[in-house]
């Protein structure tokens, strides 16, 4: 809100968000766009990374068949290594900061289920998931 070009425009926008997404009779109620928080990853960075790496191994839009087969074999070998490391319990533990953020969100969600106060839940969790401050990022 303090960074809005005009405070009045900021209030109009936040009023729109609250009335459109928060109340049970909203145009898009929470059961359509929100789900119970979990510890599972929330992004599709893994598949995106795989496709970027896979596509980066080809130097033309229509590579020769033997090149595609070679890349597929290398990809299979890499994936087997990853699968075997998972089977052997070799993994990257979650960062302490991320783990505490998820635990706090789960605790807040359990409080929400008990008290049914969505606004309070959103207030408690809003500071955990803020975007970048564009003014600081440009400097």
pLDDT at 71: 92
Global pTM value: 0.43
- Burial of 54-73, coded b for 16+ CB within 10 Å and e otherwise, reads eeeeeeeeeeeeeeeeeeee
Cα distance between residue 35 and residue 12, in whole Å: 27
**Integer angstrom CA distances of residue 23 from 13, 35, 120, 122:** 16, 15, 13, 12
Cα distance between residue 52 and residue 61, in whole Å: 14
Whether 37 contacts 20, CB under 8 Å? no
- Which residues in the chain land under pLDDT 70? 1-10, 39-44, 90-93, 128-139
pLDDT at 102: 82
For residue 69, what are its two tokens? 């087969």
Cα distance between residue 11 and residue 29, in whole Å: 20
């Amino acid at each position: 809100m303090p960074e809005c070009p005009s405070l009045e425009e900021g209030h109009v926008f936040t009023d729109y968000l609250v009335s459109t997404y928060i109340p049970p009779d909203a145009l898009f109620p929470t059961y359509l766009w929100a789900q119970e928080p979990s510890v599972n990853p929330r992004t599709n960075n893994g598949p995106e990374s795989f496709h970027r790496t896979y596509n980066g191994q080809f130097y033309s839009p229509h590579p020769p068949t033997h090149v595609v087969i070679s890349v597929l074999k290398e990809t299979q070998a890499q994936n087997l290594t990853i699968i075997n490391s998972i089977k052997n319990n070799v993994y990257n533990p979650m960062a302490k900061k991320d783990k505490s953020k998820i635990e706090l969100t789960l605790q807040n969600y359990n409080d929400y289920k008990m008290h049914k106060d969505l606004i309070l839940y959103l207030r408690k969790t809003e500071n955990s998931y803020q975007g970048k401050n564009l003014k600081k990022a440009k400097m």
